[in-house]
Amino acid sequence: MKLSLQFAACLCAASLFAAPRDRVIRPVDARATAVIPGNVHRLAQPRFDQGPVDAGMQMNYMVVFLKSAVDQQRELDQLLVDQQNPSSPQFRKWLTPEAFGNRFGVSASDESKVVTWLNSSGFKIEHRSRANNWVAFSGSAGQVSAALHTAVHRFQVNGETHFANVSEPAVPSALADVVGGFLGLNDFHLKSFAIPVTPDLNSGTSHFLAPADFATIYNLAPLYQAGIDGTGQNIAIVGDSDIQITDIRSFRSRYGLPANDPKLVPYTTVDPGLNGDAIEADLDLEWSGAVAPNATISYVFGPSVFAALVYAIEQNVAPVVSVSFGGCEVDASPVFYRAVAQQGNAQGISILASSGDSGAAGCDRQGIFPQAEQGRRVAFPASLPEVTAVGGTQFAEGSGNYWAATNSPTFGSALSYIPEMAWNESSGSGLGASGGGASTVYPRPAWQAGPGVPMDNARHVPDISLSAAIHDG
């Protein structure tokens, strides 16, 4: 009897929402095309162009995003408000990826027609999302050029070689109402914000934070004493490099943390290899585990950080996802990328992203440009209204005494909370400051109100800030 009642309840809940309607109602004719705007990277400029890539060059794990209909988007916007309203019946009633797709994805028929078109163009289907809102595929540059009606060229930018489509892609016009954009038509990926430093811990006037210092400064002891130490919690870190698990083990052993290896979750069979961004992966895996030592931490990775984020949300890997990479917000399609973040929120996922290391010059990378050249910008994905933007502070010790003369057995030396101010170490040697400012893309969300919040119509970042300065590495 109980099982029958549960089954009836499920049927009743499912009947409240109609299945997505078919929007691809004409035959898919590859000869009749429509341009999908917003899919040419800002840096794919003629002055950087080095000519066409080889037609046989493999382009792995591209993603075609399938957008919601206007009425679906309106319903989703309201759901996201209701899920965060304690007085709403929908408060914290998170969706599964499948439930999200049943309400806000494309119909099964429309998705199948997109897949059929990709197959007929010679592409290999890598993955079909659980929410019926994107399809991953792979193929050659020649196939991309033929199917999407855009050439793929090499570009030399700031000493780096990249590939990118040179014009907006086009798809069969019958599919134009469901295709929202593409990921992977270029390799101008989000960049790591990590700066490698040598931890010298307590050495005179310089202090490098050990986990014990962080716990002291931010008063974590009462949480730990209450059993809030990550037990039962899941955290996902996204990255674009392999890691050496011995790095994580050495960190945890050195600072007296319990053994707890991260789970490795590659989103594709294409191995990114061990590259310079392993520094960022180590930093994120080590410090999330330092603050929440008993949490289950998953490392979702592959050649593209944003593709890793898409996969982490689509697979519901964890209710907390951390992104320490970013780029200029004007380089990210607001339709595609915001839809990914909204799906995450609807599933109950908190997405945290670094606000950047270049102060108000979010389009100028630290270590590349000695001074701001691109104007006042904020970094993406921190600027998304569905993301918690995490900024940086630096300690303002003044004449206070906040450090012990020696380190503890776990290398801590902080004595108490230390006053903080906004991180800003920019100088003649380059940019180095907490990212922050007003978005030029996203409007101010309703929740962003209170003392000190500018009353304009722009999304402002960061939302929270913690110690991040080089001085306090």
200: containing domain: 192-472
Q: How far apart are CA 403 and CA 211, in angstroms?
A: 14
Q: Note whether residue 15 is domain-resident.
A: no
Token reading at 338: 């915001």
Q: What is the CB-side half-sphere exposure of residue 207 using CA atoms within 13 A? A: 27
Contact status, residue 251 vs residue 282, Cβ threshold 8 Å = yes
Q: How far apart are CA 422 and CA 356, in angstroms?
A: 13
Token reading at 419: 């006053």
Q: Could you read off the pLDDT tens digit of each residue along the chain, which spans 473 residues?
A: 444 554 444 444 444 677 899 999 999 999 999 999 999 999 999 999 999 999 999 999 999 999 999 999 999 999 999 999 999 999 999 999 999 999 999 999 999 999 999 999 999 999 999 999 999 999 999 999 999 999 999 999 989 999 999 999 999 999 999 999 999 999 999 888 766 555 555 555 667 899 999 999 999 999 999 999 999 999 999 999 999 999 999 999 999 999 999 999 999 999 999 999 999 999 999 999 999 999 999 999 999 999 999 999 999 999 999 999 998 888 877 778 899 999 999 999 999 999 998 888 878 776 666 667 778 889 999 999 999 999 999 999 999 999 998 889 999 999 999 999 999 988 766 788 899 999 999 999 989 988 888 889 999 999 999 999 877 76
Q: Which letter does DSSP use for residue 347 in this model?
A: T
Q: How far apart are CA 365 and CA 228, in angstroms?
A: 37
Measured between alpha carbons, how far is residue 265 from residues 65, 189, 299, 391, 419 in Å?
22, 19, 6, 27, 38
Instruction: List CB contacts of 1: < 8 A, sequence separation 6 or more.
Output: none
Nearest alpha-carbon partner for 441 in 463, 417, 460: 460
Nearest alpha-carbon partner for 337 in 302, 313, 317: 313
Q: Note whether residue 91 is domain-resident.
A: no
Q: Note whether residue 88 is domain-resident.
A: no
DSSP codes, 352-385: EEE--SBTTBTTS-TTT-SS--S-SB-EETTTST
Burial, 18: exposed, middle or buried (Cβ in 10 Å; 0-12, 13-18, 19+)?
A: exposed
Q: Note whether residue 13 is domain-resident.
A: no
Judge if 205 and 165 occupy the same domain.
Answer: no
**Tally of structural domains, the chain:** 2
Distance from the Cα of residue 51 to its chain's centroid: 31
Judge if 327 and 384 occupy the same domain.
Answer: yes
Beta-strand ranges (E) seen in 130-222 are 134-140, 152-157, 160-165, 170-172, 179-183, 191-192, 202-203, 206-207
CATH number at residue 297: 3.40.50.200
Q: How far apart are CA 268 and CA 300, in angstroms?
A: 10
Q: How many C-beta neighbours within 10 Å does residue 167 have?
A: 13
Judge if 306 and 428 occupy the same domain.
Answer: yes
Judge if 390 and 255 occupy the same domain.
Answer: yes
Judge if 411 and 468 occupy the same domain.
Answer: yes
Query: pTM value?
Result: 0.91
Judge if 231 and 321 occupy the same domain.
Answer: yes
CA trace torsion 93, 96, 99, 103 (10° rounding): 70
Judge if 141 and 226 occupy the same domain.
Answer: no
Judge if 265 and 158 occupy the same domain.
Answer: no
Q: Note whether residue 168 is domain-resident.
A: yes
Judge if 258 and 383 occupy the same domain.
Answer: yes
Helix residue ranges, H only, 166-228: 211-217, 221-225
Contact status, residue 121 vs residue 64, Cβ threshold 8 Å = no
Q: How many C-beta neighbours within 10 Å does residue 331 have?
A: 17
Beta-strand ranges (E) seen in 267-328 are 296-301, 320-323, 325-328
Judge if 34 and 172 occupy the same domain.
Answer: yes
Q: Where does a domain end: 187, 209, 226?
A: 187
Q: How far apart are CA 330 and CA 58, in angstroms?
A: 27
Q: How far apart are CA 472 and CA 465, in angstroms?
A: 14
Burial code (b: 16+ CB inside 10 Å, e: under 16) for 215-243 equals bbbeebeeeeeeeebbeeebbbbbbbbbb
Judge if 286 and 218 occupy the same domain.
Answer: yes
Q: Note whether residue 16 is domain-resident.
A: no
Q: Specify the length of the chain in residues.
A: 473
Q: How far apart are CA 425 and CA 40, in angstroms?
A: 34
Q: How far apart are CA 34 and CA 171, in angstroms?
A: 6
Q: Note whether residue 99 is domain-resident.
A: no
Nearest alpha-carbon partner for 70 in 114, 26, 104: 104
Q: Where does a domain end: 164, 187, 210?
A: 187
Token reading at 25: 């109602």
Contact status, residue 432 vs residue 426, Cβ threshold 8 Å = yes
Q: Note whether residue 376 is domain-resident.
A: yes
Judge if 182 and 218 occupy the same domain.
Answer: no
The label of the residue with tokens 């691809």 reads 24
Q: Where does a domain end: 187, 209, 238?
A: 187
Phi, psi torsion values for 369, nearest 5 degrees: -110, 125
Measured between alpha carbons, how far is residue 106 from residues 16, 111, 112 in Å?
17, 6, 10
Contact status, residue 267 vs residue 211, Cβ threshold 8 Å = no
